[in-house]
Amino acid sequence: MTPALQKPLNLGADVVLHSATKFLSGHSDVVAGLAVVKDPELAARLGSLQNSFGAVLGVQDAWLVMRGLKTLSVRMEHSQKGAEKIAAYLKEQPLVKNVYYPGLADHPQHAIQKGQSLGAGAVLSFELESEEIFRSFVNTVKLPVFAVSLGAVESILSYPAKMSHAAMPADERVKRGITNSLLRLSVGLENPDDIIKDFDAALVNIAKGKQLLQNE
């Protein structure tokens, strides 16, 4: 969400943790994190701990995060619009089993999301019909970077089952809906129509291949 779309302190949170590596800096060139509070006493305690442990950014890294913050609003606006468009496209595809994006009206938490934030963000996930289709899709698409991160100028496609959640037992992943055909997409600053064309070409080729096999 970033503070551009949601302010958890105003929703009752005491401490907000940000991965500044991601959308806040937004350019895949810094590793950083921060904690934000509004209680002066808690802020002083955190500040003392940070000073004791020396957990501070170098000058260059701090400057990179500051640079990213200057464009955060326009980046989030563009990426979110792209995510909305791509999510709507994926929902209509027969080889896509599920699309998870709180900006969709039929998402179970759509009303909660709408009440707590100014938008649904730029990250979505979608589940393909089978692991076989998933593998063909990943091997065919060309535009998104296939990596574990998110929140950059480039769109990033990741595979939670074998990347971010690989250490989680398989049965626990399934309970949380993290199947072997689930993909997460962090939408970047490309023209979303280019991403859709890339996805569409992959899905059309897969559908043609399935049809050929059925006809044999």
pTM value is 0.93
Q: What is the reported pLDDT for 55?
A: 84
Q: What is the mean pLDDT of residues 51-72?
A: 94
Whether 77 and 177 share a structural domain: yes
Q: Where is pLDDT greater, at 71 or 215?
A: 71
Whether 105 and 191 share a structural domain: yes
CB 145 within 8 A of CB 186: no
Whether 151 and 205 share a structural domain: yes
CB 149 within 8 A of CB 137: no
Q: Strands 182-186 and 156-158, how do they pair?
A: antiparallel
For residue 116, CA distances in Å to 10, 30, 38, 104 come to 10, 29, 18, 15
Residue numbers of the domain that contains 208: 73-215
Q: What is the reported pLDDT for 209?
A: 80
Whether 169 and 198 share a structural domain: yes
CB 24 within 8 A of CB 44: no
CB 94 within 8 A of CB 64: no
Whether 10 and 82 share a structural domain: no
Whether 41 and 136 share a structural domain: no
pLDDT tens for 78-130 read 999 999 999 999 999 999 999 999 999 999 999 999 999 999 999 999 999 99
Q: How many domains does the chain have?
A: 2
Whether 43 and 119 share a structural domain: no
d(C-alpha 192, C-alpha 19), whole Å: 25
Q: What is the mean pLDDT of residues 182-204?
A: 97
Domain boundary among 35, 70, 105: 70
Whether 156 and 185 share a structural domain: yes
Whether 132 and 65 share a structural domain: no
Whether 116 and 21 share a structural domain: no
pLDDT band at 210 (very low <50, low <70, confident <90, very high): confident
For residue 172, count other CB atoms closer than 10 A to its CB: 10
